[in-house]
Amino acid sequence: MLAGAALLISLLSTILCSVSVAAISSDDGSYELSNGNCTAPEPRDLVHMEHVQKVAIPFVTREERVTWYGDEKIYCVLVTSCNGETHSKVKLLRGGAGHTFVDLEVHSSRGYGFAYNVRIFGKE
Ligand SMILES: *[C@@H]1O[C@H](CO)[C@@H](O)[C@H](O)[C@H]1NC(C)=O
């Protein structure tokens, strides 16, 4: 029952998340990330999409690493917050726009969780 509710919440937040419009200042180490030319990414160029979520645990820092390797050359990486929570940071570690791979990390402040949508746009 609890697992079902958690799944439903996760599904809902994925849906809510994917409709959020990208208007992020391009920066790394910010709570959201926009890397490359994300002014008008084409939906058909979406090569990877992933929802990353961690619940808050008191006094604990939550982390998640996202890595993607593909054949397409990336021109835009968008990591958007699902809930506007600003107590986490997204950092581009390697790759991104101009590469065929990306390696990034999300980490929260102590006692906070996060919910992000990661979208990667690329072309052959
Ligand atoms: C970014 O992409 C848009 C849409 O494809 C294009 O019109 C624009 O010229 C690009 N900007 C840069 C700086 O490459």
pLDDT in tens, 57-83: 999 999 999 999 999 999 999 999 998
How many distinct structural domains can be found in the chain? 1
The helix (H) or strand (E) run that includes residue 49 is strand 46-54
Q: What does the radius of gyration of the chain's CA atoms come to, in whole angstroms?
A: 14
| pLDDT tens per residue across span 29-51 | 789 999 999 999 999 999 999 99
Return the ligand 1 atom nearest residue 40 CA: 4
Question: Range of 64's domain?
Answer: 2-123
- Choose which residue among 26, 39, 73, 77 to substitute to test ligand 1 binding: the one with the highest number of ligand atoms within 8 A of its C-beta: 39
Checking if the pLDDT of 102 tops 90, the result is yes
Structure tokens at 88: 């986490």
Of 120, 43, 117, which is closest to residue 75 (Cα–Cα)? 120
- Going from the C-alpha of 97 to that of each of 3, 35, 42, 74, the distances in angstroms are 37, 6, 15, 5
Checking if the pLDDT of 19 tops 50, the result is no
Tracing tokens 């929570």 back to the chain, one arrives at 85
